[in-house]
Amino acid sequence: MRLLYLGDVIGRAGRSLVFEKLPELRRSLKLDFVIVNGENAASGFGITAKICAEFFEAGVDVITSGNHIWDQKEIKNYIDGEARLIRPINYPRGTPGRGSVLVQDARGRKLLVINVMGQIFMNGLDDPFAAVEAALAKYPLGSAVKFILVDIHGEATSEKMAMGHFCDGRASLVVGSHSHVPTADARIFDGGTAYQTDAGMCGDYNSVIGMERTEPLQRFTRKISTGRFTPALGEATLCGVFVETDDHTGLAKRIEPLRLGKYLKEHMPVV
């Protein structure tokens, strides 16, 4: 099975590039499944029902999120009715939406997508490891499902890496989101789980993690706020992770970063 995960989509620049490039990427990489982190897709803060529909139309199968999932008020009503949009699984019981989703690809193979948020330097949610453990125990890889992805949305690289080792042999891919900077550590762990600490963002890298530079620089240099953060609208770059797995075990055979755009050195997997 071939899957592409695209990191945090930032505002209009990121959305437009995803919509433009994804149909061809599905063909050229012979993708069975596409997952996008969309929590910054609406002007950098949250996501809307309209944007979700545009992602699905472009070829996205599941949208993950993180700490900005609730920034657009309409999403609290929308998320309960759209299983393909998920929020971190370790939100307390009673929170709208769901933290994982079981889906099928075009060939009928089952995939489990889990979204979880770290605790270090993040909102105080429930134990991420216990939440992921419960989901993995319910759907054994290779028998109940053919692919399991864990999107760990967090600040600390150590916590993300610990989650990768925690899931090793039980998930196909553990990939980090939230920092908006792609890490150079794509690899397969000893147990067969593919891993990358952060996939990076889909947005304008001539920015401060996707935001227009003026306001972040003002806050860093003068320690005062003069306005809102707004997404940079220059030429965007796609960043993500391509994974190929064994259909029998669900474990990874190959992982490669994907970078397509102006400001980072491009890397495109070849199939």
Q: What DSSP line would sit under 128-140, residue for residue?
A: HHHHHHHHHHHS-
Contact 124, 88 (CB under 8 A): no
Residues 239, 259: Cα–Cα separation, whole Å: 5
Residues 243/140, Cβ–Cβ less than 8 Å: no
pLDDT at 123: 86
Q: What percentage of residues in the chain have a pLDDT greater than 70?
A: 100
Band (pLDDT 50/70/90 cuts) for residue 46 is very high
- Each domain of the chain, given as residue ranges in start order, spans 2-260
What are 258's strand-pairing partners?
A: 240
Dig out the tokens for 47 from the structure: 């996501």
Q: Considering only CA atoms, which of 160, 159, 153 is closest in space to residue 89?
A: 153
Residues annotated as part of the active site: 68
Q: CA-to-CA distance for 146 and 43, rounded, in angstroms?
A: 35
Q: At what angle do helices 11-28 and 49-58 cross, to 10 degrees?
A: 20
- Is the pTM higher than 0.75? The answer reads yes
- For 171-216, write each residue's pLDDT tens digit: 999 999 999 999 999 999 999 999 999 999 999 999 999 899 999 9
Architecture of the domain whose range is 2-260: 4-Layer Sandwich (3.60)
